[in-house]
Amino acid sequence: MSKVTINTLQALKKTGEKFTVITAYDACFSRVIEQAGIEVILVGDSLGMVLQGHDSTLPVTVDDIAYHTQAVSRGNKHSLIIADMPFGSYTQPSQALDNAAGLMSLGAHMVKMEGGEWLLETITAMHERGIPVCAHLGLTPQSVNTLGGYKVQGREPDSARAILADAHAAETAGASLLVLECVPTNLGTLIAEELKIPVIGIGAGPGTDAQVLVLHDMLGLSPRAPRFVRNFMSGNDSILAAISAYHQAVKDGSFPAEEHCFTQ
C-alpha cells in the first residue's frame, strides 16, 4: 500500500474514482482504518462530542487535537491525516499559522478550518508556507450558535449562491480539499463539478468526490446519529468488516443512498 498524498486524491478526482474519509482519534482505530485501505483520516473536533461527551465541538482545544493526532499518526503510515483546527484557534492568521505548524510537526499532513470569506487570508498564508488546508463549508458546527442549530444549509437560492462563491474563493486562495456538510444534493454535485480540488461530502449527496463519516456514528455507537449516516456494523461481524464495507460502498456509489441525502 503506497502512502496517500494530495496528488493521489487529485488523481482519483480526475479519473472519477471516489475516495473515503473517516474520523479517528487513536492508534488502535487508525490501524484498522489503514488495514481497510481508507485514503484519508480526519482527527475531527467531533471528538469533543463523541469522546468527551460535550454537546458541541466548541470546548475542544489545540492540545486535545495535538494529543489525538499523535496517536492516530503512530497507528497509520498509509492514510493522509487531516487535523481539525478547533474553535478559536485560527481567528488571526499568525495564531492560525502557529497552531497549524504545531499540528503538522506532530503528524498531520493537512489542517481543516471552518469558514468562508473571512478565512481566505489565512488559507493563502498557510498554503504559501507549506501547510495544506482543507476548507469546510455548509453546516459548520463551530458556528452552531450563529446558525441557531445543526441545520441543512444552502436550501435558499441566496445561501446556495453564497456557499458556491465561498467554495470557489477557498480554492483560489489555495485550499487543497473542501469538506461540504449538510447541503442539498444538487448543490453538492454542482460544487464538486465546478471545483478542481476534491470535494468531500457529509450529508451532501452522492455527487461529491469523496464521503466522510464520524467513526462512532457509522459503527452505530452514537445515541442519535444524523440522517446522513448509515450504520455499517449492521450486517458485519467486525469493526474491520464494517469500515471495509463503508469504503466499498463509497467506491461503488451505493453510499450515500437517497435516504441519507437532503433536497432543496
Contact 108, 69 (CB under 8 A): yes
How many residues of this chain bind ligand KIV (CB under 6 A)? 11
Q: Which is nearer to ligand KIV, 157 or 217 (CB)?
A: 217
* Residue selected from 175, 190, 202, 210 as contacting ligand KIV according to rule CB under 6 A: 202
Judged by CB under 6 A, the chain residues 26 through 55 that form the site for ligand KIV are 42, 44-46
CA within 13 Å, CB half, 194 = 17
**Amino acid (1-letter code) at residue 221:** L
C-alpha cell at 40: 484519508
Amino acid at 181: E
Options 85, 192, 212, 243; binder of ligand KIV; rule CB under 6 A: 212
Nearer to ligand KIV, 128 or 140 (CB): 140
Residues 6+ apart with CB under 8 A from 120: 169, 170, 173
Q: Which of 83, 179, 182, 197 binds ligand KIV (CB under 6 A)?
A: 179
Helices 27-35 and 62-75 pack at an angle, to 10 degrees, of: 50
64 binds ligand KIV (CB under 6 A): no
Is 214 a binding residue for ligand KIV by CB under 6 A? The answer is yes
Q: What is the DSSP letter of 263?
A: -
Residue numbers annotated as active site: 181
Least Å distance between CB 157 and ligand KIV? Answer: 25
Q: Report the C-alpha gap between 174 and 258 in whole angstroms.
A: 33
Q: Which residues of this protein are in contact with ligand KIV, per CB under 6 A?
A: 23, 42, 44-46, 84, 179, 181, 202, 212, 214
